[in-house]
Amino acid sequence: MSGQPANSLEDSFITVHEKTTSQTSFSTSTSSSFHQGYTHTHSSKEQVLDGKSSAALEAEKDDPTVPRRMKLSARRTDLLPTLQTRLSQASFPDQIEAAGWSYGTETNLLKSLTREWLHNYDWEKELNQLNQDYDHWTCRINGLDIHYVRHDPWADKVKDPVSGVETGEEGPWAGKTMVNEDGQIVMPLLLIHGWPGTWYEFGKAIQLLKRRGRFQIIVPSLPGFGWSQAPKEKKFGTKAMAKTLHELMQHLGYKYYLAQGGDWGAIISRTIATLYPDNCLAIHINMLPCLPPRPWSSPFQFIKAITGYALPSVVYKNNPREQASIAGLKLYAVEEGAYFFLQSTKPQTLGHALHDSPVGLLSWLTEKYLGWADLDPTQPETWPFSKTELLTQIMIYHATETITSSTRIYYETYHNKDVQWLLRRPVPASVPVGVGVWNKELFMVPKAWADDYMNIISWHEFPKGGHFAAFERPVEYEKEVTDYFTSEQVLDAFTAKRYGFKI
C-alpha cells in the first residue's frame, strides 16, 4: 500500500450535509399509503436534535427521503376473506396420469398446497413474525419509495428531541463504527434478491449474519417487488435498479459497501460493480451467465469454449462440473426458458391471470421454486424449506399485488438490452469477485469463461443447493458469504479504501 491516510475515518461515510445536498434531485411527493409505521428521530454528530425547532422536526418527519421505520401490511383490507373465497372455489384442470412434472406444476401437489394455504397457513401470524424478527425501513430513492430490511447496531441511537433520552433503537443513518466489540472490521453488505424471490429469501441467512457481527446489513425489496414502489415509467431495467440501490446505500451513509446476489440480484450486483467500482468494493454472486472468452484477449480459451459447448464430454472429460454447466445452459434454452421470453415480451397479459387468481399465482411460482431448487418435488418432507416458508414467498407477492410489476423487470431489461450491455463489459479488475457454484444452478458457465470478464478470487462448488441458495441452504450460504467478504484480500481492499490508501 502507498499514499497518505485521509484526514478522518469519517470520510468513509457520507455526512448529513452531503446527504441533504444530494436529496435535492429526489421527488418529494407523498409516500405511498401502504407504508405504515413511523419511528424516527435524526441524531448525528453533525446535527443536534435538541437545537431544532418543532417546525424543523415536523418538516423532517414529513420528508419522504428521510429513512423511517415501517410496518409490513397488506394493501387491501379485504385480502384474507377474498383469498379464502378464491381458494375454496378453485377448480383444477385434468392432467395426463404419467406426466409427473414434465408438463409443468403437477396438479395433485398444487391441490395439496392450495388446501394448505386455505386451512393451515396463517398470514397474520407470519406477517407479525416478519415485523417482529426484522427491522423494516423505507425512504424515497430515485423517485420511488424503497422498502428495505436493515441491521446496523452501530448506527446512531434514536434520541427523543425533548428529553434527550436515547431509546436504544437504531437511527436512520449509517453507524460510523469501523470495528465491532471484538476489534473485527465491520462492513456494509447489500443483499439483492431476484425473481421469483423477495427480501424474505434471505430471512434465515440474515439472522445468521446478525449473530456473526461483521456486517451492517441492507436487504431491499427491488422496485416493483413486495413493499417497494413500482416504477411508473418504461425503461426501468437492471441498470436503473443498480443505480437506485447504489443511491440507497449512498443516501443511508454507506459510502463503501459490498454486494451479494443470485438471479437478478447477481446481474444487479455485477452492474453495480461495473458502474460504481469506487464504492462497491467487492461482490459475491451465485448465478453466473457469461459469454465465452473474447478471442482477442483469450484466444485459446475462446476456441476451447466454442468446442466445449459442442462437445462437453470430450473437452471437459475430467471435469463433471463443467460438463454439467454446459448441459444446464442447453437445457435452459430448450426446456426452461419460455417463462423468460413470455415475461420479456407480454408481462401484462400474464399479469392479468396471476393477479386475479391466487391458485394461478401459486402454480406459476411453485413451479419455479420446486423446479429450480435442489429437491424432489414429490417428496415435500425432504424440501429444504417448509410449505409455510414457500407460501410466505407467494403471499408477499399476493398481499402487495406486485406479481405483474415484478415480471416487468424482464421486459424492461430485455428491451433496454441491459444484460447484453453487461455481458460485454468486464467487471473492473479492482473489484474482486467471489462465486458460489451450487449443485443445481440455472445459469453457470465454466470458470475459464468468467475469468476473462472478472477478477475471480474465490470459486467454491457445493454438492447440494439450487437456484435459491440463501433460501435453501442458509447455513452454507452464510458461511460462504462471510468467509469470502472477510478474506484477507477483500478486507485489505476495504480497509485501504476507508483509510484513504491506494493499493
pLDDT in tens, 204-219: 999 999 999 999 999 9
- Its pTM surpasses 0.95: no
| Average pLDDT over the chain, rounded to an integer | 87
Pick from 51-60, 97-106, 343-352, 439-448 the range whose average pLDDT is largest.
343-352
Domains of the chain: 9-92+102-499 (3.40.50.1820)
Q: Give the model's pLDDT for residue 178.
A: 86
Active site residue: 147, 151, 193, 467, which one?
Answer: 467
Active site residue: 410, 411, 453, 477, which one?
Answer: 410
pLDDT, tens digit, 9 for 90 and up, residues 96-107: 988 899 999 999
> Is the confidence at residue 291, as pLDDT, over 70?
yes
State the number of CA atoms in the 13 A half-sphere of 150 facing the CB. 28
Q: What is the mean pLDDT of residues 122-134?
A: 97
Exposed, middle or buried, 322 (CB in 10 Å: 0-12/13-18/19+)?
A: buried
Q: Give the model's pLDDT for residue 44.
A: 38
467 is catalytic: yes
Contacts of 64 (CB under 8 A, 6+ apart): 26, 27, 28, 29, 30, 31, 139, 140, 145
Beta strand pairing status for 68-69 and 157-159? Answer: unpaired
Contacts of 170 (CB under 8 A, 6+ apart): 135, 150, 152, 153, 155, 156, 157, 158
Helix segments in 373-400, DSSP class H: 387-400
Helix segments in 293-443, DSSP class H: 299-310, 312-315, 320-331, 338-345, 347-356, 358-372, 387-400, 403-416, 418-423
Q: Give the model's pLDDT for residue 21.
A: 39
Active site residue: 145, 156, 263, 374, which one?
Answer: 263
460 is catalytic: no
Give the Cα separation of 41 and 160 in Å (integer): 7
| φ/ψ bin of 375: left (φ > 0), alpha (ψ from -120 to 50), beta (otherwise) | beta
For residue 503, what pLDDT band results from cuts at 50, 70 and 90?
low
369 is catalytic: no
Q: Give the model's pLDDT for residue 325.
A: 84
Query: Which residue type does 184 have?
Result: Q
